[in-house]
């Protein structure tokens, strides 16, 4: 892990297209501003872990024919 010290308004550059800027420092909180391309997903760690857990659970749930038929109807434009 790389550990850097930055002051308010200073930035860190990751690659050519991601910038992390220290926006504010208040007591025990640091506010970060992140500039990145839209194709780059940015999540807080706890949200990322929840997404992983939900994806894992969904992958273990067997798909039913009824559910797949409903999705097929929606894609065809049939709302029934």
- Burial class of residue 5, CB neighbours in 10 A (0-12, 13-18, 19+): exposed
pLDDT in tens, the chain (80 residues): 999 999 999 999 999 999 999 999 999 999 999 999 999 999 999 999 999 998 988 888 776 667 777 778 888 886 65
Q: What are phi and psi of 24, to 5 degrees?
A: -160, 150
pLDDT number for residue 61: 73
- Nearest of 40, 43, 5 to residue 19 by alpha carbon: 40
pLDDT number for residue 65: 65
pTM of the complete model: 0.66
Residue ranges of the domains in the chain? 11-75
DSSP state of 62: P
- As a whole number of angstroms, the distance between CA 4 and CA 72 comes to 51
């Amino acid at each position: 892990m790389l550990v850097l010290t930055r002051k308010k308004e200073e930035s860190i550059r990751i690659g050519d297209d991601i910038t992390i800027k220290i926006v504010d420092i208040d007591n025990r909180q640091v506010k970060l501003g992140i500039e990145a391309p839209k194709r780059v997903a940015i999540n807080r760690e706890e949200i990322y872990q929840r997404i992983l857990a939900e994806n894992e659970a969904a992958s273990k749930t067997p798909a039913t024919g009824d559910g797949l038929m409903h999705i097929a109807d929606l894609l065809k434009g049939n709302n029934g």
